[in-house]
């Protein structure tokens, strides 16, 4: 599988088509095409030239696939070590014998067709599926040994030898890739972030890192209301909120620079909390407009333009919730009658809407996520105060779900994925935290992380490497923070201060 093999012989110069095949297809506005090579038959040749540097688009895809499969840190590092050794993290349409792609996988050895292997998403999936199995069978292996277990190279020692380079590439990918979820809490540049609204109406950007501790920054920009949403895209953190003048506020910031601010042509149009996500080369936001319809805006970094419009004539109440599943965009909300509205779009179709068969009974805003790239899930409070769960399974094409046990709650729940685990947080009428959790092999269960009689705002969860977290407003208006380290069962907690609105 390795391209640097004594059997490779004299390598030939790559043709101009090689550069084309190794590149990432750019998307049209509102599209994020899959990362793949042209569908023509691939003539495999030995590589005469390996780029000395990596392709940033390749490392983003490899990292995102690892996130989608919730691989642990060692397996993720194994992927980057293998990718650097095999191709310098480039999607090569050449290699030793019939090896191809970022991991130099061979069609003759059952890795897939040449076209499949040159799809970086497919190739990364094939690597990580095998790497997870290797790690489970040999938990004492180093990252390089896991890579060798998958690659079966004639030079097994080289994977561990490039650990420092692989970690640098991994850090770059982490900084540039937004997780497929967004929310009031998010991760940016190795620091945990929370976007809150101070009682004065200012946007407060809370952050914590090991080097700085808790920092509370007033980002200005005029009075805002409701619940902001944040995510990371193109090396910047983006936060959206509803202004008190019903105009969108969009802050963007990186490093030590002050945040920028714009409104994306939304003067007087915003009637709900915004929802949004990063998608390919684009930043997206959704909100309810004055006609109670779903309004959409997105900024494309390749054109430098804001686009958008109304997705349908359906009307809804409350706040929308949006996330990405594979190459699909999904937005959920509820009607005034308690029915579900589910808008969806992917490349090649116009935005469409359905109700997943839920025509009544929804009493809260929707929350949800993409799970393992094969299912998309939603949760909501029903009219009896119980947690309802529905999900669509891609493989079977079926809708499934039911009630998760654990008593009643109030307000809006918040759901997230941590590794292979599903977590939902809410609050009950006594001010206790309610935490539901599930992973393969167990039934849904519930606990409170020791937070009782203190939760006065809807809690918000966050997944970070090695930990999962929850934030909520306390009875004195400060921001409480609890977290659990992987492999442990005892929550830790601290308080980030401030004086935020519920």
Give the model confidence (pLDDT) of 400-458 as tens digits. 999 999 999 999 999 999 888 999 999 999 999 999 999 989 999 999 999 999 999 99
> Are 127 and 203 in a shared domain?
no
How many domains does the structure of the chain reveal? Answer: 2
273-298 burial code (b ≥16 CB/10 A, e <16)? bbbbbbbbbbbbbbbbbeeeebbbbb
Residue finishing a domain among 175, 201, 220: 175
Supply the mean pLDDT for the chain: 88
> Are 124 and 229 in a shared domain?
no
Residue 192 lies in a domain: yes
Residue 1 lies in a domain: no
**Higher-confidence position of 179 and 337:** 337
Residue 95 lies in a domain: yes
**105 band by pLDDT with thresholds 50, 70 and 90:** very high
> Are 171 and 184 in a shared domain?
no
pLDDT of amino acid 162: 96
**106 band by pLDDT with thresholds 50, 70 and 90:** very high
Flag whether pLDDT at 97 surpasses 90: no
Q: Which domain holds residue 214?
A: 178-495
pLDDT of amino acid 33: 34
pLDDT of amino acid 73: 86
Is 472 in contact with 460 (CB distance < 8 Å)? yes
222 contacts: CB under 8 Å, gap ≥ 6: 201, 243, 244, 245, 249
Average pLDDT over residues 213-237: 94
Could you give the dihedral angle defined by the CA atoms of residues 452, 453, 455 and 456, in that order, rounded to the nearest 10 degrees? Answer: 170
> Are 277 and 165 in a shared domain?
no
Residue 501 lies in a domain: no
Residue finishing a domain among 175, 210, 239: 175
Residue 213 lies in a domain: yes
Flag whether pLDDT at 63 surpasses 50: yes
**14 band by pLDDT with thresholds 50, 70 and 90:** very low
The count of residues in the chain is: 502
Flag whether pLDDT at 36 surpasses 60: no
First to last CA, the chain: 56
Flag whether pLDDT at 145 surpasses 90: yes
**7 band by pLDDT with thresholds 50, 70 and 90:** very low
Alpha-carbon distance 103 to 371, whole Å? Answer: 25
Residue 500 lies in a domain: no
**318 band by pLDDT with thresholds 50, 70 and 90:** very high
CA 460 to each of CA 277, 367, 413: distance values in angstroms, whole numbers, following the listed order = 16, 11, 8
> Which residues sit opposite 484 in a β-bridge?
468
Flag whether pLDDT at 324 surpasses 70: yes
Model-level pTM?
0.71
pLDDT of amino acid 176: 56
Residue 297 lies in a domain: yes
Flag whether pLDDT at 22 surpasses 90: no
Give the model confidence (pLDDT) of 243-289 as tens digits. 999 999 999 999 889 999 999 999 999 999 999 999 888 999 999 99
> Are 112 and 128 in a shared domain?
yes
Here the CATH number for the domain that contains residue 285 is 2.120.10.70
Alpha-carbon distance 379 to 381, whole Å? Answer: 7
Flag whether pLDDT at 11 surpasses 60: no
**34 band by pLDDT with thresholds 50, 70 and 90:** very low
pLDDT of amino acid 42: 47
Residue finishing a domain among 133, 154, 175: 175
> Are 206 and 329 in a shared domain?
yes
């Amino acid at each position: 599988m390795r391209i640097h093999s004594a059997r490779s012989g004299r390598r030939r110069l790559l043709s101009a088509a090689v550069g084309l095949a190794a590149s990432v297809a750019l998307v049209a506005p509102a599209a994020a095409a899959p990362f793949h090579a042209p569908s023509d038959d691939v003539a495999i040749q030995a590589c005469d030239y390996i780029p000395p540097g990596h392709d940033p688009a390749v490392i983003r895809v490899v990292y995102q696939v690892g996130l989608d499969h919730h691989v642990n840190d060692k397996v993720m590092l194994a992927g980057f070590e293998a990718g650097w050794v095999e191709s310098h993290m480039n999607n090569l349409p050449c290699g030793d014998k019939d090896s191809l792609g970022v991991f130099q996988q061979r069609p003759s050895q059952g890795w897939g067709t040449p076209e499949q292997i040159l799809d970086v998403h497919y190739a990364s999936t094939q690597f990580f599926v095998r790497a997870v199995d290797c790690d489970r069978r040999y938990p004492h292996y180093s990252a390089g040994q896991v890579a060798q277990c998958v690659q079966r190279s004639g030079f097994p020692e080289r994977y561990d030898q490039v650990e420092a380079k692989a970690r640098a590439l991994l850090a770059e990918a982490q900084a540039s890739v937004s997780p497929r979820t967004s929310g009031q809490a998010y991760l940016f540049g190795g620091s945990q972030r929370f976007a809150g609204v101070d009682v004065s109406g200012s946007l407060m950007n809370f952050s914590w890192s090991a080097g700085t501790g808790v920092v509370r920054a007033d980002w200005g920009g005029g009075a805002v209301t409701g619940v902001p949403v944040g995510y990371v895209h193109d090396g910047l953190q983006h936060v959206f909120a509803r202004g008190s003048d019903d105009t969108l506020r969009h802050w963007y910031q990186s490093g030590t620079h002050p945040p920028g601010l714009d409104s994306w042509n939304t003067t007087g149009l915003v009637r709900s909390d915004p929802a949004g996500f990063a998608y390919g080369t684009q930043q997206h936001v959704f909100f309810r407009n004055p006609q109670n319809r779903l309004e959409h805006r997105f900024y494309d970094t390749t054109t430098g333009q804001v686009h958008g419009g109304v997705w349908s004539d359906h009307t809804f109440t409350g706040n929308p919730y949006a996330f990405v599943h594979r190459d699909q965009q999904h937005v959920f909300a509820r009607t005034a009658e308690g029915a579900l509205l589910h808008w969806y779009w992917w490349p090649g179709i116009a935005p469409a809407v359905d109700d997943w068969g839920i025509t009544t009974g929804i009493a809260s805003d929707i929350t949800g996520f993409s799970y393992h790239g094969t299912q998309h899930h939603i949760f909501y409070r029903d009219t009896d105060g119980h947690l309802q769960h529905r999900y669509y399974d891609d493989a079977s094409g079926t809708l499934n779900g039911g009630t998760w046990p654990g008593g009643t709650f109030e307000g809006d729940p918040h759901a997230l994925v941590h590794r292979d685990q599903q977590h939902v947080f809410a609050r009950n009428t006594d001010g206790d935290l309610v935490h539901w959790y599930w992973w393969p092999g167990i039934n849904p269960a519930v606990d409170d992380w020791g937070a009782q009689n203190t939760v006065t705002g809807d809690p918000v969860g966050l997944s970070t490497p090695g930990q999962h977290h929850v934030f909520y407003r306390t009875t004195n208006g400060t921001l409480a923070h609890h977290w659990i380290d992987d492999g442990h069962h005892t929550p830790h907690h601290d308080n980030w201060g401030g004086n935020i609105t519920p």
